[in-house]
Amino acid sequence: MRFANSPCFWVVVFLLLPSTASSQAISATLMHDRAVAAVERPLPGLADVLGAEPTLRASPVFVISRFDNTGDTGDSDWGAAVGWALMNSISGQFGELAVIPPYQSAEDAATRGGAALTGSAALSLSAKRTGAGFGLSGSIRVVDSRFEFRMDLFEFPANHVKLSTTKIGVLSALPEALQAAAQELIEQAVLDSSGQRSSGKVLTPRLSELTALSRAFAKQSTYSARELAERYATLSRENEASASLNLLYLQALNSLADQRRMSAAVQTKMPTARQRQEPAEIYSRLLRSQYNHAGIDASSILHLSKTILENPNNIGAWFALTDAYNSENVMYQDDERGGTYVISAAIDHHLGTANAITIALETLRRWPDHYRSWSTLATSLAVYAGLVRGTAYWNEIPEDARTRYRAIMEVVEDCLRTAIRKHPDRGELHRAMIDHDLRAGRDWMDSFRVAAQLTPHSKRLYQTAFNYARPQWGGTKDQLKEIYATSVKNNPGETWPQMLREEWAPEIVPWIDLEKPLVRYTLIFVGLVLFVIVWQVRKQRRS
């Protein structure tokens, strides 16, 4: 995400204030009232943000997991392929269910040990964290061009199988079999939740798409993040008509925070009309907005707003619209050399960020049991608070702005704590908590260590930690060294940890840095020259 790499984030980071966050559970209604009171300025109405008022009723959250594989998978992972394909084929197609989009599924089921859960285990964990009412999972086996799968409809929080179906056939018939089975189970979920029959229809994946996905997901743990992105890029080029493969590639590329490459990919991988899959469209619109030079794209905002009005239970669109507003470059802008400069002083009430808060509050009202509803509100309020504070030193900020900032950040911390209680294994939440640990005088390195275990490849995490460990913020060289050692250990073969160290922690860069290839080659060359000189001298003496 662009905001993840934008210095707008650091406005929130730089402050050292005490916290009075409560460890007690907080209701969504209470949090709404606290947030509105802390902002102290009138927030726009929902109709003002979206252009019209969406329906008030929220549908139950519906989760889908990767299927279990039964038997030897070899060079193909059909379970992951089927789960990913169904997520893309179902999300956005049923107005009676809030289907979790595929690009959020891995985070929702993330574990502390890093194990990739599948089947009912992943489904149950995701349902608990998102407050889901229903879920879809199963198992599959593909052998000698034949398939056999079982698909289960789960009901939560009871966590029991409501309905199951099993299908067997030749591989060429797999797409139609998956569509028919999923259609039957989802129609049952809609009937149970609303008492009505659904007019939605599960899209039918193509066999070539399923086959390519099974190759894409095979042996994922053996590849680095960059290798996975290259692998997905190849498969995406070979299957240009596959929106689900394009989505997989964009998500992998976005995780690398490669600004230039990402900006180009977003333009070329936008879904076409014949691809039809809603998740790829929403994710592409979000990235297109975030990687825009201004950090926001008006056409994407309009599209996401329209999507919500057409289907108010498209939960992915609600989160995407909030993120799109939050990523706008309001206070900072990037320059041509990759640096940043201030473009605005403190802002008493920024309308775009206020729009994000309005959307986030409504999302929390609709789905209060979803951890992401709480973390998204936390992000929106933190961005707003950073604009209220501005870039001045703390003693130069007007008292009313300092008071508002403190009040808003207390709400932010409570939102984060609630999100962490619901999903303790999401690294980004622990990274965000570092700021609050520091303000409250707690050992923020504990939050860093947990975040590094959960998201070892997050460049943003190490940027945040390096910043807090700087001497001017009370950090130490030992902290800087630990952060750098962790980044190198978790990202072998990558060069960006060294680049981060040079930019953020120059005081721990050794005078002769053996980690730089040029330095090593120079020393080797000098050593060889000295060896030749010594050898020549000794040869002359002997003669």
Instruction: Summarize pLDDT for 122-176 with one digit per residue, the tens.
Output: 999 999 999 999 999 999 999 989 999 999 999 999 999 999 999 999 999 999 9
Q: Distance between CA 386 and CA 330 in Å, rounded?
A: 10
384 C-beta neighbours (distance < 10 Å), count? 30
Model pLDDT, residue 7? 37
Model pLDDT, residue 513? 60
Quote the mean pLDDT of the chain: 87
Model pLDDT, residue 25? 62
HEC letters along 140-183: EEEECCEEEEEEEEEECCCCEEEEEEEEEEEHHHHHHHHHHHHH
CA angle 131, 186, 424 (to 5 degrees): 20
Phi, psi of 341 (to 5 degrees): -150, 155
Model pLDDT, residue 166? 97
Q: Which two tokens stand for residue 466?
A: 């390096």
Phi-psi region of 340 (alpha: psi -120 to 50; beta: other; left: phi over 0): beta
Which residues have a Cβ under 8 Å from the Cβ of 115 and sit 6 or more positions away?
A: none
Pairing relation of β-strands 68-69 and 98-99? unpaired
Query: Which tens digits make up the pLDDT trace of 35-76?
Result: 999 999 999 999 999 999 998 789 999 999 999 999 776 789
Q: Which residue positions in the chain have pLDDT lower than 70? A: 1-25, 73, 257-276, 334-341, 511-521, 523, 543
Within the chain, what is the greatest distance between any pair of CA atoms?
104
For 61-222, CATH gives 3.40.50.10070
**Residue closest to 408 by CA, chosen among 380, 439, 429:** 380
User: Alpha carbon of 92 to those of 31, 318, 395, 444: distances in Å?
Assistant: 28, 12, 49, 40
Identify the three-state secondary structure at position 138.
strand
Model pLDDT, residue 274? 42
* Residues across the chain: 543
Model pLDDT, residue 519? 57
Model pLDDT, residue 515? 62
Q: Distance between CA 434 and CA 442 in Å, rounded?
A: 9
116 C-beta neighbours (distance < 10 Å), count? 14
Pairing relation of β-strands 98-99 and 61-64? parallel
- Domain ranges across the chain: 61-222, 514-543
In this structure, the dihedral spanned by the alpha carbons of residues 303, 309, 310 and 314, taken in order and rounded to 10 degrees, is 80
HEC letters along 69-126: ECCCCCCCCHHHHHHHHHHHHHCCCCCCCEECCHHHHHHHCCCCCCCCCCHHHHHHHH
68 C-beta neighbours (distance < 10 Å), count? 21
User: Alpha carbon of 109 to those of 127, 150, 302, 363, 415: distances in Å?
Assistant: 9, 21, 31, 21, 20
Which residues have a Cβ under 8 Å from the Cβ of 69 and sit 6 or more positions away?
A: 77, 78, 79, 118, 139, 140, 141
